Structure 1
Amino acid sequence: MAEPGTLTRADLAEAIHLEIGLSRAESAAIVEQLLGHIGDALAKGENVKISSFGSFVLRDKGERIGRNPKTGIEVPIAPRRVLTFRASQMMRDRIVRAG
């Protein structure tokens, strides 16, 4: 069971089932396909923008020097690609109104 306040794949599938009337299996398949398409696009290096929701943006971070907090020893941090999410203005407005 999901943590309180956490929306899961099963929750999304159930919402589709209740609102659209598809079977639970069809609803779960739609959720899996949608998440699969988003994941595939990100894996190919494409950014994903969902209008009125937000954007998943890939960023390349260069190598840098970090510090081990326990020992204080400097260590190189390898370059990597990170995924960030930026909520649309409409979504930010909805969050502010809900809070």
Structure 2
Amino acid sequence: MTAKPMTKTQLVAALAERMDTDKKSAQSALDAVTGVITEEVANGGAVTLPGVGKFYLRERPERMVRNPATGEQIKKDADKVVKVTIAKALKDSANG
């Protein structure tokens, strides 16, 4: 489990091979998918990739947090975070 994560270049090469196309087309396809997901989630929507998971935006309320260096309690403003819920099919394939 200490293998390095796949880089974008390696992912593009793998996509090109699977799609039986050149790397430039695979790069364009990957960039398009990434762009659509980013735009939709940034606008408050959600995107589901079947077999992979669901990307969505979650709002976190204002809360008290602790500075680990000093132990001081400070108030953190409300913010938004991107979440990913992994699909059951991917979980099952990872667990054998």
Whether TM exceeds 0.5 here: the answer is yes
Please name the residue that 1:86 is paired with: 85
Measure, in 2, the Cα distance between the counterparts of 1:30 and 1:67.
43
Please name the residue that 1:7 is paired with: 6
8 A contact 2:44–2:56 mirrored in 1? no
Structure 1 segments of 4 or more deviating over 4 A?
none
Structure 1 residue 76: deviation in Å? 0.6
**Aligned-residue CA RMSD (Å):** 1.3
How many positions carry a matched residue from both structures? 94
8 A contact 1:68–1:74 mirrored in 2? yes
Please name the residue that 1:34 is paired with: 33
Q: TM-score, normalised by structure 1?
A: 0.85
Structure 1 residue matching 2:95: 3-state secondary structure:
helix
Please name the residue that 1:18 is paired with: 17
Structure 1 residue 5: deviation in Å? 2.7
Structure 2 residue matching 1:71: 3-state secondary structure:
coil
Unaligned runs of 5+ in 1: none
Unaligned runs of 5+ in 2: none
Measure, in 2, the Cα distance between the counterparts of 1:79 and 1:59.
11
Instruction: State the identity %.
Output: 22
